[in-house]
Amino acid sequence: MQYHLNGFKPGNYQVPDEAREPYPDPPIVDLPNEVDVLIIGTGPAGLTMARQLSEFKDIKTCIVDMASGPLLFGRADGISCRTMEIMEAFNSSEMVVKETYQLKQNTFWEPDEDNPENIKLTHKIADARAGLSEFTHGIVNQARLHELLVDGMERSVTHLSPHYSRELVEMNIDDNLTQDLDAYPITATFKRTDDAGAGKTETVKARYIVGCDGARSKVRKGMNIALQGDSANKAWGVMDILLITDFPDIRVKSFIQSKDHGAVMTIPREGGYLCRFYVELDLLGKDKRAADMKLNEQDIIAKAQKIFHPYTLDVKEVAWWSIYEVGQRIAERFDNRPAGSSEDIIPRGFVAGDACHTHSPKGGWGLNTSLPDTFNLGWKLAAVLQGRSRPKLLSTYCTERRKVAQQLIDADRELSRLVATRPTAGDDSEQAKVDTAKIEAFMKRQSGFVAGTSIEYYPSYICTGQENQHLATGFNIGQRFHSAEATRVADGRSQHLGHLVKADGRWRIFLFGDMQTPTDPSSAAYQFIDFLANDESSPVHKYTPKGADIDSVFDTYAVFQQQDLAMHDLHDYLWPAKGKYGLRDYEKVFHAEASNDIYDLRGIDRSAGCVVIVRPDQHIASILPVTAHEELTKFFDVFMIEQR
């Protein structure tokens, strides 16, 4: 798809440039008095949280922002493979894939040895993230991603919409009420920022609050959570531009180092014409901020033009620009519990995204770490609010996501030093030469982290079974379920199994059968399915509410090696009767594809088979032998609440 030919226009890219209009500011609607979850901030973390909770009609959610309406310009641009997978869980990946610029190559430019005032191409390589996911790392306006999340919220069963033009002025958590699950310990006061509501205040009581309100988060400050880390004395300019240039790699991601003027990183944007530039600026003095430099977009352009010599940059339009400081900070904790609290202390306030980790934007980690923060937290909050899981589950958010944030901070600090031609804080050299080979090696080494596909949660009661990892070496416990295709038995359709794990709060149980036919009642696969279906001790019986569909809590799928199966010969738990009419679900059984065998792709033991338990956030919780009936029940007994 191509757009922005005659100037940048925000809005729905499915609408032609000539007809596209910016999103209008929505009407002001009064805030509710009481909610289950109050979300502050409509960035990627806040909207992902709201999008996930919008799926539950019995949870009352409110999301608030001080802006007058939806985001229109700039900010984050990269959409990692893992973020694409999460958007697939929201049934929105097709539009993102269609509209994004897909990164396939990287080029590296350095000063020409024969003429150092000029830059010269050293080499071009394929993007290191290729093959890590069925999706490709893409580039699209963050506002467009926001729109897809908001559309999903509004079309959900709750018809949830953000409340704009509200500034959070005060937030309190009553510590005397936090351990009472039925209480509303949070009180938040907002000031209207629109002209019509000037001077008006509103108060909301909430059971939980999630601060997604950026680096200067009032929610974080209200919970007395400190940011740890420092700021380097380095500033960079960023701009989205429409330009004419003779630089040959303008539509390829490029790292460019000049001899005397610093470095530039270019990233092609969606639509075929727009491009993002990250431009290295001068050092900041001690105790100085980027705002003190009093630079504008023309200064960023002038600096870029010097770096690109001998190539010319004729900038026709600047769609968005900003200047930022390099710095890495992380919150000491991600919830309101005192440091060192046991998992039995119930957290009622959380921070996510930039509210708990800040860094430079060059690695594309901001949006792609913020969005998974609340994808991790959302299903846990829903499970506790619905009485399906014990509240101790909420403490795992801080444990799991703070580890990821620390990895991000460490990686960003390393990348910031690699791409800077002048010293940053802690660098004693007067002049540091950019070594593009080191940048290339870094990107290869960090490719899984940058893509989000190698993010791994520590062993815990929701990440167990490491002793069984050999049964499926390609499904790494703690990492996301690495999708692969299989053929649906009922109709022969090829299906990505990872796309079955939707953001609906359900657990997925994937049975990979052994070499014995699953129609034989003596086979391990048949007995496992019969256990789920009929044994009173099975998690399906213990934790599925009375009267609910059999797959409303545990959505079970089976993949077999046998090619000649018929649905009606299999255990009827695998084609269950559902809904008010008792219609049969024929989409739960698959066989391995002959030319693209999932057993080979994911290292599944053919002789023994295995059971893979996948969490609602698509991460693998455990791998078990097919015969481990009791162990399966024990896994869920640790944190789930019996519904019978």
CA distance 514 to 525: 7
Angle subtended at Cα 232 by Cα 230 and Cα 233, rounded to the nearest 5 degrees: 135
- Of the two residues 123 and 53, the one the predictor is more confident about is 53
Q: What is the pLDDT of residue 11?
A: 87
Q: What is the pLDDT of residue 433?
A: 57
Asked if the model's pLDDT at residue 427 lies above 70, the reply is: no
Helical H segments across 114-166, by residue range: 142-154
Maximum average pLDDT range among 306-320, 324-338, 425-439: 306-320
89: left (phi over 0), alpha (psi -120 to 50) or beta: alpha
CA distance 359 to 409: 7
CA distance 565 to 590: 9
Q: What is the pLDDT of residue 430?
A: 45
Encode 371-404 in three state secondary structure. Answer: HHHHHHHHHHHHHHHCCCECHHHHHHHHHHHHHH
Tens digits of residue pLDDT in 362-387: 666 788 899 999 999 999 999 999 99
247 residue type, one letter: F
Q: C-alpha distances in angstroms, 19 versus 2, 4, 241?
A: 14, 12, 21
Asked if the model's pLDDT at residue 188 lies above 70, the reply is: yes
Q: What is the pLDDT of residue 426?
A: 46
Which residue ranges form the domains of the chain, and what is each CATH number?
A: 34-100+135-227+331-404 (3.50.50.60), 230-327+412-451 (3.30.9.10), 466-637 (3.40.30.20)
CA distance 557 to 490: 13
Choose among 212, 201, 166, 205: nearest CA to 187: 205
pTM for this entry: 0.94
CA distance 303 to 523: 70
Contacts 24+ apart (CB under 8 A), 298-303: 299/237, 300/237, 300/238, 300/239, 301/239, 301/241, 303/237, 303/261, 303/262, 303/279
Which percentage of the chain shows pLDDT scores above 70? 94
Q: What is the pLDDT of residue 283?
A: 62
Partnered with residue 589 across adjacent β-strands are: 558
Asked if the model's pLDDT at residue 460 lies above 90, the reply is: yes
Determine phi and psi for 25, rounding to 5 degrees.
-65, 130
224 residue type, one letter: N
Whose tokens are 């014409």? That residue is: 273
Tens digits of residue pLDDT in 250-288: 999 999 999 889 889 999 999 999 999 999 887 655 556
CA distance 144 to 142: 5
Q: What integer is the mean pLDDT of 450-475?
A: 95
Choose among 17, 522, 438, 8: nearest CA to 239: 8
Asked if the model's pLDDT at residue 581 lies above 90, the reply is: yes
Asked if the model's pLDDT at residue 425 lies above 80, the reply is: no
Choice among 113-117, 225-229, 233-237, 559-563 with the minimum mean pLDDT: 233-237
| Crossing angle of helices 365-385 and 395-419, rounded to 10° | 180
CA distance 115 to 506: 61
- Of the two residues 183 and 79, the one the predictor is more confident about is 183
Asked if the model's pLDDT at residue 576 lies above 60, the reply is: yes
Asked if the model's pLDDT at residue 39 lies above 80, the reply is: yes
Q: What integer is the mean pLDDT of 183-200?
A: 95
Choose among 136, 88, 133: nearest CA to 503: 88
| Crossing angle of helices 365-385 and 44-53, rounded to 10° | 30
CA distance 321 to 71: 14
Angle subtended at Cα 365 by Cα 364 and Cα 368, rounded to the nearest 5 degrees: 100
Q: What is the pLDDT of residue 347?
A: 98
The answer to whether residues 547 and 538 touch, using CB atoms and an 8 Å cutoff, is no
Beta-strand runs (E) in 89-226 = 101-102, 105-111, 119-126, 138-139, 166-173, 186-192, 201-211
Q: What is the pLDDT of residue 448?
A: 85
The answer to whether residues 177 and 170 touch, using CB atoms and an 8 Å cutoff, is no
The answer to whether residues 240 and 275 touch, using CB atoms and an 8 Å cutoff, is yes
- Of the two residues 638 and 295, the one the predictor is more confident about is 638
Determine phi and psi for 293, rounding to 5 degrees.
-75, -20
Tens digits of residue pLDDT in 341-362: 999 999 999 999 999 998 876 6
Asked if the model's pLDDT at residue 304 lies above 60, the reply is: yes
CA distance 502 to 551: 13
Q: At a CB cut-off of 8 Å and minimum separation 6, what does 285 contact?
A: 233
Q: What integer is the mean pLDDT of 401-407?
A: 93
Asked if the model's pLDDT at residue 428 lies above 70, the reply is: no
Tell me the DSSP string of 502-531: -SSS-EEEEEE--SS-TTSTTSHHHHHHHH
Q: What is the pLDDT of residue 418?
A: 77
Tens digits of residue pLDDT in 488-515: 999 999 999 999 999 999 999 999 999 9
Taking all residues of the chain, what is their mean pLDDT, rounded to a whole number?
92
436 residue type, one letter: T
